[in-house]
Amino acid sequence: MIARIARKEFTEMTRDGRFRAAAAVVAALLLAALAMGWKRHVEIDAQRRDAAEMTRRQWLQQGEKNPHSAAHYGTYAFKPKPPLSLVDPGVDAYTGVAVWLEAHKQNDLQYRPARDATAVARFGELTAASVLQLLVPLLIILLAFPAFAGERDQGTLRQLMSLGVPPRDLALGKALGVSMALALLLVPAAVAGALALATATGGGSLAAEVPRVATMALGYILYYGAFVGLTLTVSARAGSARAALLVLLGFWIVNGLIAPRLAVDLARRLHPTPSALAFNQAIDRELKQGINSHNPNDPKLIALQERVLRERGVDRIEDLGIDFAGIALQESEEHGNRVFDAHYGALWDAFARQDGIHRAFAFASPLLAARSLSMAMSGTEPDQNRDFASAAEDYRRELIRIINDDVTRNGKGPGVEYLAGEEVWGKVPDFRYAAPGFATVAARRWPDLAVLAGWCAAMGILATASASRVRPS
Amino acid sequence: MLLRIARHDLRCLAADRAAWILVAMLAGSVAYGVYNGSTWVRFQEATLAAVAEDEASRLVQLRRDAEAIAPDAAAPVSWLDPRSPGVVAGSRGQRFAAAPPGPLAAMTVGQADLYPFYFKMTNRTKQTFIAGDEIENPSNLMAGRFDLGFVVVYLFPLLILGLSYNMLSAEREQGTLAMTLAQPVRLRAVLLGKALARAGLVLTLAIGLAVVGSLVAGVDLRAPGVPARLGLWIATVAAYGAFWFALALAVNALGLASATNAVVLVSCWMALVVIAPALISVAVTSLHPVPSRVELIGAIREASSKASQEGSGLLAQYYEDHPELMPASSAPIAADFLVKLQAVQKTVDETIEPVMARYDDQLARQQELVDRLRFLTPAVATQEALNDVSGTSLGRHKHFMAQVDDFHQVWQNFFIPRVMRRERFSLDDYDAIPEFEFREQPLSAVARRAAGGLLGLIAPSAVLTLAGLALLRRYPVAGR
């Protein structure tokens, strides 16, 4: 019986010109978005790879110079673009693309791509994720809002119920019918997406993407399940098809446009972040408490010098056998690192708490859970931006430590110029960033999946309950 | 007659609870939007106050340190000497180039939350200070703000459509339309009267609230250009509202059922406000893609490492080009790191400038295309116009950046000769350090663009209204 109802719904929908038109539009947008995403991914990935190679070459071939100048010259770490970002670019447009790794200073990621875009981009760019998160639910609403209310308006609901169809079967059948119509659209799109992904990863690492894709797909299926359930519920309870449609559109607007903005406002108020000026002033103030290795008259530098002399049991800096400059430089780095850890840690924690509030709003707007999960699986969520920033910072500290060690060991002492070359630059390993694996991301983001499952289950229960109490007229 | 219909329609609306709810929602979102916008403006103002305070206290300290050095004392390390022009220009005496929030920024945050609004000037290359960003959680930027611009562009049309999707169809479905038309009144007058009544109500309310709210939030009417900008803001919102009323009128004139009207109008909203801007964005970014900045980083490093390797050569070259800056052999500051650096910076700037310009040119091309394509949807035309008149657009940011460029030039012209002549700063020099003064974008440029946008809103509204009125001739007054 369920199958028969589903087949009837499916046939009806696929014959409906409005559905065909809407589905064609959504399909065209989805495919266009995938194509755009693929093109952008391939371009940016190539540019990033070239840039990474180039900076490495520049680091190695910077010529003979004092190692500390080399540390000031530093190097750059470029944020990789994960393959699934072609589906969901997440916050990529609003985070920098690269970070300068230099002596004495932790830097933030530079060059947000959104600054190189027009105001039109703020309407929301056409990405596969925005189609999946906003337009497909709208299509579900347009497909299913007349499920009960439309039949009631036409008078066929009374007939149907007189046949003795169990209301639960009716609801299930209708849900299945909508799902089949959706599958007609989404399965080919998923195949196209998989093909795009396969060519974007170069084939090799495609297997690694499978659990991510599967989890993302599961998230979207639950999200759509919630929308199907909600639409059937409203359709069964509303007085007319028109009322059902208006209520559902109202929910769609709250879900997609209003709740995310309110969540952001609330999060910003609850967990404020400092202005860039205040942040940097606080860091500067605390850096000054440490050793200034560039000022020979700094009392802390002199104290350190005395301590080192004492520890080594010599009277003069010339008798140390090592270059004190390297020790002083590293000492000031260590102090700086503690300051950066405290400030950047607090800042990133505030961001994370803000994001936590956005996710908590998923109880009002399932979009927020779906988006969070989708970005996480694509590797374009804020948390993974932080992962990259931390990895780059760890690499910076390692780089500076290697260089300072070299100054300590091979430096010629005060007043004598020490020049190093490629064999020293080569001691610093190349920066290789491994994004967190599926298990790590899934361990962080399973609550999103749980919230979506909760929405789906609640809406399913509501839909069956509403169907069993549906009034025939 | 029109007036009587309008008055009667308002009385009917007043009895409708749904209408009251819609109006209350409009009022609530306008108030919240203004509140949010003014929070952002207050943040910027507080930051700029802190910036000014930082600059003032630093310069006072610098001068005090310079005065404290006895003229015959041994020179401190050159990169700490407060009298060394390189030190003043690049660290201790740096002044800020800052732009205050746009005149109506509380009413439309626009693009302003993406752009830095102050720069610490330096004698180094432009790229060393240009890339800084205000701190903000990327997910907040992605979600966008609930400012008045959002309320106007997204929510305002929905409330208009909610009030007007069944202007005629409801009366026909209730059977009252035929009775009304039995009186000596034309259908045209009925529809027009109803549309005008509702438009009058909604527009007065929305604009009145927005203006009062923004005045409370601190928009200064006495500032030059602000009344004109506010006038343009009001005209844009009114024209945008008129477009949606005209659309509702035209759809009502088709003679469909109320439910169908609602679906058609919501589909139009979706197409014009959600889908069309995304498509315009696709067109703009695919026709004039801005390359990734990672290329710029590579170019900058290439140029700077090459220049520093040739450092001494560049310095010699510099003095050859500028013999007037050649220091006397007894110059007070030795030719050190800072002097060499200055020669290197100049070369780097010259190499990088064309690379940086490529990004700006490409973005300018994108904006040009947007200027043309904005007429495809009133949502984009309105957003652009609101950003322009509020002073939160890309255009205003470019206007600011051009002034920053000029100021950088002034800064360089003031400091570089002093660095290269290896002079010491005299006490008078501290008072002569150039200061930045922001000049607001001229009203004429803003008004021209906003007027174009207005035309792009009024023309389709007029066409839709006329088409709707023409369609009324074949309107099925009775029956479904």
pLDDT of res. B458 = 96
pLDDT of res. B309 = 72
Strands annotated E in B145-234: none
Q: Do A98 and B285 touch (CB under 8 A)?
A: no
pLDDT of res. A241 = 81
- Give A1→chain B minimum CA distance, Å: 31
Structure-block tokens of residue A124: 């929301």
Q: Do B270 and A267 touch (CB under 8 A)?
A: no
Task: Please report, for residues A55, B101, B393, the alpha-carbon distance to residue A72 in angstroms, rounded to integers and kept in the order given.
Answer: 14, 35, 37
Assess contact for A157 and A467: CB atoms under 8 A. no
Task: Please report, for residues A93, A225, A245, A256, A351, the alpha-carbon distance to residue A358 in angstroms, rounded to integers and kept in the order given.
Answer: 19, 22, 27, 13, 11
- Residues from chain A contacting residue B280 (CB–CB below 8 Å): 120
- Is some CB atom of chain B closer than 8 A to the CB atom of A130? yes
User: pLDDT tens for residues A228-245?
Assistant: 999 999 999 988 887 888
- B32, B111, B135: best mutation site toward chain A, by most A Cβ within 10 Å? B135
Indicate the residue type of A150.
Answer: G
User: pLDDT tens for residues A69-93?
Assistant: 889 889 999 999 888 999 999 999 9
Assess contact for B297 and B130: CB atoms under 8 A. no
**Could you tell me which residues come within 8 angstroms of residue B311 by beta carbon, excluding any fewer than 6 positions away?**
B340, B343, B344
Task: Tell whether the model's pLDDT for residue B480 goes beyond 50.
Answer: no
Strand partners, B97: B119
Greater confidence (A17 vs A265) lies with: A265
**Angle between helix A324-360 and A276-288 (nearest 10):** 150
- Is some CB atom of chain B closer than 8 A to the CB atom of A267? yes
Instruction: Report the range of poorest mean pLDDT among A82-91, A261-270, B64-73, B126-135.
Output: B64-73
User: pLDDT tens for residues B220-239?
Assistant: 888 888 999 999 999 999 99
Task: Tell whether the model's pLDDT for residue A283 goes beyond 90.
Answer: yes
Q: Do A119 and B111 touch (CB under 8 A)?
A: yes
Task: Tell whether the model's pLDDT for residue A166 goes beyond 90.
Answer: no
pLDDT of res. B281 = 92
- Give B203→chain A minimum CA distance, Å: 22
Task: Tell whether the model's pLDDT for residue B384 goes beyond 90.
Answer: yes
Its ipTM equals 0.91
Q: Do A51 and B383 touch (CB under 8 A)?
A: no
- Is some CB atom of chain B closer than 8 A to the CB atom of A432? no
Task: Tell whether the model's pLDDT for residue A103 goes beyond 50.
Answer: yes
Residue of A nearest to B266 (CA): A249
Question: Reduced to 3 states, what is the DSSP secondary structure of residue B118?
Answer: strand
pLDDT, averaged across chain B: 87
Q: Do B296 and A111 touch (CB under 8 A)?
A: yes
Assess contact for A131 and A182: CB atoms under 8 A. no
Greater confidence (A209 vs B371) lies with: B371
pLDDT of res. A44 = 87
**Could you tell me which residues come within 8 angstroms of residue B170 by beta carbon, excluding any fewer than 6 positions away?**
B258
pLDDT of res. A143 = 85
Residue of B nearest to A130 (CA): B278
pLDDT of res. B453 = 93
- Residues from chain A contacting residue B263 (CB–CB below 8 Å): 142, 245
Helix (H) or strand (E) holding B444: helix B443-471
How far apart CA B126 and CA B114 sit, in angstroms, is 19
**Could you tell me which residues come within 8 angstroms of residue A55 by beta carbon, excluding any fewer than 6 positions away?**
A75, A76, A78, B297, B298, B301
User: pLDDT tens for residues B170-194?
Assistant: 888 888 888 888 888 888 888 999 9
- Give B478→chain A minimum CA distance, Å: 20
Residue of A nearest to B264 (CA): A18
- Tell me which long-range contacts B177-180 makes (C-beta under 8 A, separation of at least 24): B177/B477, B177/B478, B178/B477, B178/B478
pLDDT band at B16 (very low <50, low <70, confident <90, very high): confident
- Give A109→chain B minimum CA distance, Å: 9
- Give A26→chain B minimum CA distance, Å: 10
Task: Tell whether the model's pLDDT for residue A146 goes beyond 90.
Answer: no
User: pLDDT tens for residues A352-405?
Assistant: 999 999 999 999 999 999 999 999 999 999 999 999 999 999 999 999 999 999
Which residue's structure tokens are 């020790």?
Answer: A327
C-alpha of B350 from chain center: 30
Instruction: Report the range of poorest mean pLDDT among A78-82, A412-416, B172-176, B463-467.
Output: A412-416
Q: What is the pTM of this model?
A: 0.91
Residue B113: name the closest of B82, B81, B135 by CA: B135
Q: Do A115 and B115 touch (CB under 8 A)?
A: yes
Indicate the residue type of B407.
Answer: F
pLDDT of res. B331 = 58
Which residue's structure tokens are 């050859």?
Answer: B320
pLDDT of res. A154 = 81
- Residues from chain A contacting residue B108 (CB–CB below 8 Å): none
Q: Do B137 and A63 touch (CB under 8 A)?
A: no
- Give A250→chain B minimum CA distance, Å: 10
CA angle in degrees (0–180, nearest 5) for A336-A337-A339: 65
Ramachandran sector of residue B122 (left: φ over 0; alpha: ψ -120 to 50; beta: rest): beta
Of A120, A124, A350, the CB nearest to B284: A120
In this prediction, residues B152-160 reach a mean pLDDT of 93
User: pLDDT tens for residues A20-30?
Assistant: 888 888 899 99
Which residue's structure tokens are 């028969």?
Answer: A4
How far apart CA A233 and CA A469 sit, in angstroms, is 10
